Amino acid sequence: MSAVQYHLLHAVSLLALSASSARSESTATVAKLWIAGTALFSGSLYGLALNGPRLLGPVTPLGGLCFIAGWALLIKPSGKAD
């Protein structure tokens, strides 16, 4: 996948998250993580592709971590007993 595909995937996921009826503090945190991930991951790759400073290279994995943390928080079991 390329930076554009990750950007598109998380933009659509953010739209779906905002349209869902499950409004909570954790969904807000997921949204913030995905936005940060998009800025760090895709943004750094866009910058590198446009001959930006090589300093952007180490930023890319931080964006990936934000994506992973957001998805993990979204699919984490609530821990509530039936």
Q: What is the pTM of this model?
A: 0.81
Q: Name which residue leads in pLDDT, 28 or 78.
A: 28
Q: How far apart are CA 41 and CA 18, in angstroms?
A: 21
pLDDT in tens, 7-54: 899 899 988 888 877 777 788 899 999 999 999 999 999 999 998 888
pLDDT at position 37: 93
Which pLDDT score, from 0 to 100, does residue 35 have?
93
Distances (CA, A) of 50 to 13, 25, 60: 26, 37, 15
**Per-residue pLDDT at 17:** 86
pLDDT of 4 higher than 90? no
Q: How far apart are CA 31 and CA 63, in angstroms?
A: 13
Cβ proximity of 42 and 54 under 8 Å: no
Closest C-alpha to 76, from 41, 25, 40, 38 = 25
